[in-house]
Each structure stands twice: as C-alpha cells, then as structure tokens.
Amino acid sequence: MTQPQPGEQLVGAYLRVIEGCDLVTYNQRSMERGDQTELDVLGVKSTPEGQRLLACEVVTHLDGQLYSGTPSTDEWAEYGNASYQYSLERISEKFERVAGYLDVVFDDLSLAEIQLWAPYVSEGHQTDGLAEVVERTETEHEPSVRLVINDDYTERIEELRHAAGASSKDYSETGFRYLQILEGMR
C-alpha cells in the first residue's frame, strides 16, 4: 500500500475525528485482476441504520486546475478548454470505478456517499461540469455524491483545525497530529 498524500491525510483525519468513522483506510485497490480502481480514502461509520460509507477522491492541486491532459472524447466539450474537459472525463471515470468497487465490496449502499475533496476548483465551466458529473453518477448508481470543494473544503478543514486545537487525544491520524502540533504552538 502506498503512503497517503498530505491531502488524503487531512480528509482521513476529518472522517475519523469529525465524522466519527470507526474505520478509515487509504489507497484501497480493487482485487479484481486488471481493475485499476484505487480509492484515495474510505471511511466506514456504524450507525443504527447500517454502515455509512464515505468514499473520497482527493485532488489537492492548489492552482484551480484539477487535472491536465487531453480528453479522449468531446463528451465534456461544453465545459471549457481541453484541461477542464479532461478533468471532468477523469473524475467521471473515477466515480464510475468507485461506484463499481463499492457495489462489489459492500452489500448495502443505501448510506454510501462518494465525495470529491479539492481545496480550489475554478468557478464556472469546471464547477458546472462537476455538477453534471454528480447528476450523471447519481442517476446511474446508488451512492449519493457530494462535492467538498472551495468554501466547503475550507470550512471542513477549519473545523478540523479547531478540533485539533481543542484536543491532545491521539487519533492515530497523521494529518490530525500535524494540525494538533501547529494549533498547539505557543
């Protein structure tokens, strides 16, 4: 298993500390031969209604661009330049693979949610395209989809920072421990 990236560590810390997930795991890979699915962060929380699943894709690019590349089709052409189109194509494909992975691994997806976490996504074509990706994914698959981007991302990380400043408890989450150190400096 690969070491979680810094952005993934923050998301995992949020799932464990704020969401109260019983299990947080990083870089889950499909066991199916030839399947390249990798899930950045998976949180599982036991609730009276069943297992709540939070499957998170994390893109920590700080320049507003999710991915750069050339799209393989013109499916997303109305949503801006080639890089925007490629980003939407790639995220749509990731959501498809994650939904398929969850369907194979878990029996009940009624409480499952796919999340995209990104600190900065350019407003306009890219956010409009992401809304379309969400709509398509929710139409075709059982898990709901939530975008944790821009202000929502900032609010959640601020909430995590506040929790770090108020607690010295060891949650076994590296990202949270870094925040505890920073918030506890005198």
% residues pLDDT > 70 (the chain)? 96
Q: What is the pLDDT of residues 122-165, one digit of tens each?
A: 999 999 999 999 999 999 998 999 999 999 999 999 999 999 99
Residue 65: C-alpha distances to residues 10, 44, 82 (Å): 20, 29, 11
Alpha-carbon span 71 to 140, nearest angstrom = 22
**With 70 as the cut, is the pLDDT of residue 86 above it?**
yes
Mean pLDDT of the chain: 92
Report whether pLDDT(88) > 90.
yes
Q: In sequence order, what E strands does the chain have?
A: 23-29, 38-47, 50-58, 112-118, 144-149
The pLDDT, as a whole number, for residue 182 is: 94
> Is the model more confident about 34 or about 55?
55
- Please check the confidence at residue 11 and state whether its pLDDT lies above 60: yes
Question: pLDDT tens digits, residue range 46-85?
Answer: 999 999 999 999 999 888 777 888 889 889 889 988 888 9
pLDDT band at 35 (very low <50, low <70, confident <90, very high): low
User: Residue 60 CA to chain centroid, in angstroms?
Assistant: 10
Q: Give 106's Cβ-side CA count (13 Å radius).
A: 22
| DSSP structural state of residue 78 | G
Task: Give strand pairing partners of 41.
Answer: 26, 56
What is the three-class DSSP state of 146?
Answer: strand
Say if residue 124 is exposed, middle or buried (CB neighbours under 10 Å; 0-12, 13-18, 19+).
exposed
Average pLDDT estimate for 113-130? 95
* C-alpha triplet 40, 26, 65: angle, nearest 5°: 25
Query: May I ask the CATH class of domain 6-158?
Result: alpha beta
> Of 134, 89, 86, whose CA–CA distance to 114 is shortest?
134
pLDDT value at residue 37: 73
1 falls in which pLDDT band (50, 70, 90)? low
